[in-house]
Amino acid sequence: MNNRQVLIFVALVASFAAVAALDNGLGLTPQMGWNSWNKFGCDVNEDVIKQTADAIKAHGLDKLGYVYVNIDDCWSSGRDSQDRLIADPKTFPSGIKHLADYVHGLGLKLGIYSDAGLWTCAYRPGSLFYEDIDAQTFAEWGIDYLKYDNCFSLWIFTEKRYTRMRDALNKTGRPIFYSICDWGFSNPTSWAQPIGNSWRTTMDIMNHWWSVIWIYESQV
């Protein structure tokens, strides 16, 4: 390697360092696992999550890095008298803490979903203005991953809303992977690096090859 190549290499390393993600010890490699939405949508329940975790373990996918088992929208039915989120008693009767303990017992990690707006995209309670209490609730339940969506935002600046939840998660003292899901609408590549561990840059992928190609082309 000559001097010019060394300089180019150093410049590339420096450029990657400049866009490093949230420094909370997580996301040093791409997160891998499973999310409930594309297959189950709002038909998700605790049995589905347990069976999926069992299957990941039985097939040895965890040894390949697939360690996150993530509950998407529709798991919550409201808030209690202390404004804490409640798991839907019909679909998650044992509660999220019980589910986290089960998944952790398999050596896997449990993820959950919330929204940086008043409501989730499926009209369940969002975390806007409840960031501290929801982050603490997630930490107490043993959550390892938060997918944070972008519906019903009240037109509050996107970066501000996502920063609020980052700060709330950090205050809990529990390492929680923070996945920013604003669908790329606000150009998160320009602001999300110090805020999240990952950030969405497109709308949902679907179970069609044209969807894969569309996402690829949009990134190009």
pLDDT at 198: 96
Residue 36's domain comprises 20-219
The domain total for the chain is 1
Catalytic residue (one of 73, 134, 149, 182): 149
Residue 19: what residue type? V
Is 39 contained in some domain? yes
Q: Cα Rg for the chain, rounded, in angstroms?
A: 18
149 is catalytic: yes
For 5, 97, 105, 170, 198, the CA distances from 195, given in Å and listed in that order, are 33, 26, 30, 11, 9
pLDDT at 79: 98
Is 15 contained in some domain? no
For 120-135, the three-class secondary structure string (H helix, E strand, C coil) is: CCCCCECCCCCHHHHH
| Contacting residues for 10 by C-beta, under 8 A, at least 6 apart | none
182 is catalytic: no
Is 131 contained in some domain? yes
Is 129 contained in some domain? yes
CATH number, domain with residue 85: 3.20.20.70
Of the candidates 150, 153, 136, which has an alpha carbon nearest to the alpha carbon of residue 181?
Answer: 150
Is 13 contained in some domain? no
Is 62 contained in some domain? yes
pLDDT at 207: 85
**Cα 63 to chain centroid, rounded:** 21
Is 113 contained in some domain? yes
Query: Could you give the strand order of the β-sheet that contains 145-149, starting from the edge strand earlier in sequence?
Result: 33-35, 68-70, 109-115, 145-149, 177-180, 198-199
Cβ–Cβ under 8 Å, residues 143 and 97: no
pLDDT along the chain (220 residues), means of 10: 40 40 87 96 98 98 98 98 98 98 98 98 98 98 98 95 97 97 93 95 90 92
Is 9 contained in some domain? no
